[in-house]
Every structure is written in C-alpha cells, then in structure tokens.
Amino acid sequence: MLEIENLSKHYGDVKAVQNLDLTIEPGEILCMLGANGAGKTTTLMVALGFTEPTAGTVRIRGVDVTQDPLEAKRHVAYVSENVMLYGNFTARQNLDFFTKLGGKKDASDADYAQVLGRVGLQEDAFNRRVKGFSKGIRQKLGIAIAIMKDAKVILLDEPTSGLDSKSGVEFLQLLADLRTEGKAIWMTTHDIFRAKGIADRVGIMVSGRLVQVLTRRGLEQQDLEALYVQYVSQPTEQAA
C-alpha cells in the first residue's frame, strides 16, 4: 500500500533521510518515533510529492510518487500537526472545500453530515465557523477530510500533539476505525505511550535512519521507552 524503498533525501550536506526501507500494509498503523530533526517529516514530504527524493522511491498503491504525482496523490491523505482550515468557513464548508479539492465532486450534504457526526462533531457545530474550534475538533476535521477522500494511505505528522487526553483518545479511536476499514496509516508521534497503545508496529528514526521496527510482539517483550532513550542518546556518528 505504502512502499518506501531505499529512500534518501539530502539537503546539501544534511542527510535528512538515509536509505529508508519501509512498507505499510492495508489495515496497519505504523507509529514513527524520533527526535526533532530525525527525518520523519521529510519522509512524509517526499511521500506526498512535495519534494523529490535524492534517491530511492515511494509508491502509493503501486504508483511512484515522483513519476506520477497526481495519480499518487489521489490515494493519500495528510493530517498535519495543525490541520489547515479556513477560520471563516464553517465545519461543513471546510469539509466541502477540501473534499472537492481532493477530487471528489459528488458528495452530498448528507455525506458531509454523516462524516462530521462520525468524527464526533455535535450537529450544532456543523454550521459554525471553525475559528473558535478547539484543537481537538480541528484535528478531527482533518480526519473527516481524509474519510471523505477515501484515501487508502493516511499520513499523520504529530496529529495528537497538544491534544488533551480525552481528545487524544477519541482521535486514536478514529484511527483504529480506519485501520479496520483497511487503510494503511503512518503516524509520527512523540508520545510513546500512545504509540504503544495503538500501533501494529513502531519505528524509530535516528539521524535520517530507520534504526528499529518493533512489531506488537516486540512491543510486549521490550521496554520501548528504555529502548528509545538508548537510541536517541547515542552520539550521532554512531547512528550514522
């Protein structure tokens, strides 16, 4: 579903991503941990076609994102740390705008209402301007946009940072539901506790390299927090 093969991305001397190999299957959530500057966002930027790889490929449903960016983009949704919404538009108008921008022109008002309800918006909020919405609701609107697009691959970059615990739990439940529907999900997070709670696999990036991928079984057998601290406290030369 999402296939990253021998991906490298350099900015001058900075090796933001080095020889990254990773596949995420349908119905799987991968959580990526890594210190600031580890290369997590850069990987997503390449996968989204915002920047070209220095070497290697990213394929989404078999489509190379560099060779055929428009086709690849049809199958991927992106939820950033601060979901971009128009403050003066209502929740429904934002959903309509971004759904059409994503290429789906035939969604009805009933579709929008159904999805807004699914992500947990109260009906009286559908037609309120998003300007006053909490971060939790904004992030859930990001999920609503991804659901409307019916993207098979969902990439999330620290989507739960700054959410209170109730919103965080609700947000992760939405991701778990999407997993059940067969989406392939990458979520970057700094929250080891949440990663352990939801991930099918947890990756750790250090200085552009994917140094560890733990399955559920590995997560049960190892102390993720201790392992992570051990990796991030290594001198960079060792990691590189």
Nearer to Mg ion, 37 or 197 (CB): 37
Nearer to Mg ion, 41 or 167 (CB): 41
CA–CA dist 189, 182 (Å, integer): 21
Using CB under 6 A as the binding rule, whether residue 165 contacts ligand ADP is answered as: no
Output the smallest distance, CB 175 to ligand ADP, in A: 19
Separation of first and last alpha carbons in the chain: 28
Nearer to Mg ion, 17 or 119 (CB): 17
Distances from the Cα of 104 to the Cα of 22, 61, 95, 208, angstroms:
29, 19, 11, 35
Segment interacting with ligand ADP, rule: CB under 6 A, options 9-17, 19-27, 53-61, 101-109: 9-17
Using CB under 5 A as the binding rule, whether residue 41 contacts Mg ion is answered as: yes
- Kind and range of the H or E element at 165? helix 165-180
Reduced to 3 states (helix: H, G, I; strand: E, B; else coil), residue 239 is helix
Nearer to ligand ADP, 16 or 83 (CB): 16
Output the smallest distance, CB 106 to ligand ADP, in A: 36
DSSP 9-78: EEETTEEEEEEEEEEE-TTEEEEEEE-TTSSHHHHHHHHTTSS--SEEEEEETTEETTTSHHHHHTTEEE
> Which listed residue (3, 29, 33, 41) binds ligand ADP by CB under 6 A?
41
Using CB under 6 A as the binding rule, whether residue 189 contacts ligand ADP is answered as: no
Nearer to Mg ion, 40 or 209 (CB): 40
> Which listed residue (36, 165, 180, 233) binds ligand ADP by CB under 6 A?
36
Distances from the Cα of 165 to the Cα of 118, 153, 174, angstroms:
19, 26, 14
Interacting residues with Mg ion (CB under 5 A): 40-41
Interface with ligand ADP by CB under 6 A: which residues? Answer: 11, 14, 16, 34, 36-42
